[in-house]
Structure 1
């Protein structure tokens, strides 16, 4: 696969290359250049080590398609147990190499206000510093775990809790909580809540909304699973809503939709997230983190690819 297929796709059909690894050749070459030294093994008298480019190709194909190791071993000529070690190693190397570059969450009022201005411009909802929500990533039941990883939807999972901006980039993420945990519980135990409550998160000082005079705080937009807090805005949940309350819920839903879209783009690019991952939760956590880092890199390098509008055309 590595010596023949990728070379042929790169030379004759770059669109197929991009579909095969979910990134263009230039991005793959950058990964080999920057991540390769982290995963290169020394040569020994016993046998030749796997080429770093092959390890990265195996990993990208695995997370892009969700294909099992047993099915991939015939194409790449690498045993399934060696693939499992390589995927974990490459994902961890991608996280170590790119995390600080790809996951850039503003910590100053100016940076938060810039995100708020983008929410106002694109989604017509002011004073919003991000959309927050959780996603269940299915995995096999860990041994002797009981119902800890069994979620309310009826399958075993870990939870990805994420804060997203208007460009569908992940600003902050908490990965690895057991599936039985609720979104509110995960948030209450996160560093994000601590920073929001002690003021170190960098929210701008409250100021008036457009065409108003009362000071209003800056917030994250969330759904009904969360509690209403000073820096967290959720929709009205009572029946018999007034027209003003319905309009508010509609506007808030538009702003909060970006986190759902980000999850959809992430899962459609790396379709292993659409399957039940046959890994231990610790490995699932590493793979999901690597997918988020690669997603942000792709959004930074190629911001117009895989938008929600494009997804509906496929």
Structure 2
């Protein structure tokens, strides 16, 4: 009995010791670390930002946008990210918060690396980047990534025809795998066919490489077609809530055709979504259609290429939880649209991206049962290109 009591007392005392050790370890040695107190004298922002403003080309290189675009974003979100002064402490102001977040998205540097260079705590860096991205999304998504109206879709279709030669097209659609840290207890749900963990960005792009619709967060193991059919965009189209215009005649003909999106072989054939003809038993007319579709789909491929080239976070594994990764990717897509609206497309970047786009990716979709109406619509577009005697340069 005494031995049993002695064991219980020893167990209780060791538990108390462990709790005291943990409590001691959790105690902060500093309210603000001495290194962080040097933020205004040695921090990267305080002795570099003002100099960059004097050299616009260097500002562009550092922040991936012009000074006026940076100020436009700042003016729209500053009231949402500014902090009040408390306990006689000077908070980090809005411009530094935005600069830190843009630099994180542009470089993909770790929170720890940014914490040392900006002289800010690691937890503070993580908090600031999320807060700024959330404020940016809330404040500017309705202006630069809003759901398109009937008239806007018609304008997009006219631009597609003028630039790419494909009539009645309201966008090209594709998916992009974004590397992420494997969420706990997720098994193989996020493990994709390229053999890394990812979430999927599904995007629809207009003729000028801007995103007209995005959806982020699908499992990496899903196919593009499966992601589309499970997406909000698909549900909106099927229920008629997506304002796609009524059909109109193809240019210079009496062939009536609906407005459509363009996908690759991984997507299903629908009345509002065209995919290439199967490469088996492909005749000249079908090959002509496939070539025109592939050519016009470069808009979404280029859009993905531009954001990857500019925002280097997308080239690395995003070391946050899934919700943080989704927020950062959405913000990058929004910044992409803002920059194009304010500055246009950088032709040098576009030319670099176009040289890296893979040609004729053969991704077949199994069990693709298309309706007779969808097949007829695709055949009508094929006949249009044959009648027009399209010549490729």
Alignment TM class, shorter chain as reference = over 0.9
Q: Does 1:296 align with 2:337?
A: yes
Unaligned stretches of 5+ residues in structure 2? 1-43, 356-393
Q: CA deviation at 1:197?
A: 2.3
3-state SS of 1:3 partner = helix
Q: Which of 74, 92, 110 is the equivalent residue of 1:32? A: 74
Q: Which of 48, 52, 56 is the equivalent residue of 1:5? A: 48
Q: CA deviation at 1:121?
A: 0.9
Name the structure 2 match of 1:15.
57
Q: CA deviation at 1:268?
A: 1.1
The count of aligned residue pairs is 312
Q: CA deviation at 1:312?
A: 6.4
CA distance in 2, matches of 1:209, 1:29: 43
Structure number with greater CO (CA < 8 Å, separation at least 6) is 1
Q: CA deviation at 1:201?
A: 2.1
CA distance in 1, matches of 2:47, 2:278: 57
Unaligned stretches of 5+ residues in structure 1? none
Name the structure 1 match of 2:21.
none
Q: CA deviation at 1:55?
A: 1.1
Contact 2:205 2:211 in 1 (8 A): yes
Distance change >3 Å, CA 254–CA 105, structure 1 → 2: farther
Q: How does 1:207-246 map to 2 (within 5 A)?
A: 207-246=248-287
3-state SS of 2:200 partner = strand
Contact 2:76 2:140 in 1 (8 A): no
Q: Which of 96, 99, 105 is the equivalent residue of 2:138? A: 96
Q: CA deviation at 1:311?
A: 4.8
Q: For the pair shown, which has the larger CA radius of gyration, 1 or 2?
A: 2
Q: Which of 143, 152, 164 is the equivalent residue of 1:123? A: 164
Contact 2:302 2:353 in 1 (8 A): no
Distance change >3 Å, CA 208–CA 312, structure 1 → 2: closer
CA distance in 2, matches of 1:130, 1:301: 21
3-state SS of 2:185 partner = coil
Q: Which of 126, 144, 147 is the equivalent residue of 1:84? A: 126
Q: Deviations over 1:112-133 (max 9, x none)?
A: 2221111111111111111111
Name the structure 1 match of 2:96.
54
TM-score of the aligned structures, taking structure 1 as reference length: 0.94
Q: Give the RMSD, CA atoms, in angstroms.
A: 1.8
